[in-house]
Amino acid sequence: MAAAAGDGGSVPQKTTGAEAPSASDPPVPRHIMPHEECVAGVRSALKDPTVRFLRERMEKAGCTVWPMLIRAATCASAGGYASREGIEVCCNHMEYPDQITQTITHELIHAYDDCVGKNMDWTNCAHHACSEIRANHLSGNCHYKRELMKGFLKIRGHEPECVKRRSLESVKNNPYCSETAAKDAIEAVWNICYNDTRPFDRAP
């Protein structure tokens, strides 16, 4: 599948995915939506204002937004972006339509970074960490209601902690980054990347 990719290096498959199920997450009841409903959800998500905004900003930045940039699939994690391949929404992990929109928004941030960051190297732990911090912060993945649904009950300071937790889960799954390297990378780039809200004026 073609991707909206720039001149950056290839992304190891699924290393920039939305947060995969993790042993650190408390178990929650799951009702997986049928594949046909998921496909319809992807089509609907493309009309979401935030998704449309990101696609428009990518086009204005000169990124190639291919017709098949985003597709429904069956795979290991909730979703993922791979350079020059595009975005997969993993229907076997989707439970409700809003989750599809959140996943696409998250992965479009990665696609944007891959295109606009001309020297983006997904094998570089700091580069990957920066994009994960931005994607988790700007996509709404760490909204307090979403955290409460997962059993994370802390309200005060939950958003930065959630961003760090989710970013670590993704970066440590990069075959080029050990858990220690992932933690170090996240801490090293945190202030710059958490406050980098491009292409938004501020975090949505």
Domain ranges of the chain: 35-194
SS3 70: strand
Residue 23 has a pLDDT of 37
Residue 195 has a pLDDT of 97
Distance CA 122, CA 96 (A): 30
105-116 pLDDT per residue, tens: 999 999 999 999
Catalytic residue among 107, 132, 147, 159: 107
Query: 32 pLDDT band (50/70/90 cuts)?
Result: confident
Q: Is pLDDT of 29 > 80?
A: no
Q: Is pLDDT of 20 > 50?
A: no
Query: 134 pLDDT band (50/70/90 cuts)?
Result: very high
- Phi, psi (degrees; rounded to nearest 5) at 90: -85, 100
Residue 145 has a pLDDT of 57
Beta strands 86-90 and 79-82 are: antiparallel
88 vs 30, which has greater pLDDT?
Answer: 88
Q: Is pLDDT of 48 > 70?
A: yes
Predicted model pTM: 0.82
Q: Is pLDDT of 15 > 50?
A: no
Please classify residue 138 by burial: count the beta carbons closer than 10 Å to its beta carbon, then call 0-12 exposed, 13-18 middle and 19+ buried: buried
- Phi, psi (degrees; rounded to nearest 5) at 44: -65, -40
**Single-letter residue type at 96:** Y
Query: 76 pLDDT band (50/70/90 cuts)?
Result: confident
Give the residue-averaged pLDDT of 158-169.
93
Token couple for 196: 């980098």
Note every long-range contact of 149-156, with CB atoms under 8 Å and residues 24 or more positions apart, other chains counting: 149/28, 150/25, 150/26, 150/28, 151/25, 151/26, 151/28, 152/26
107 is catalytic: yes
Residue 79 has a pLDDT of 78
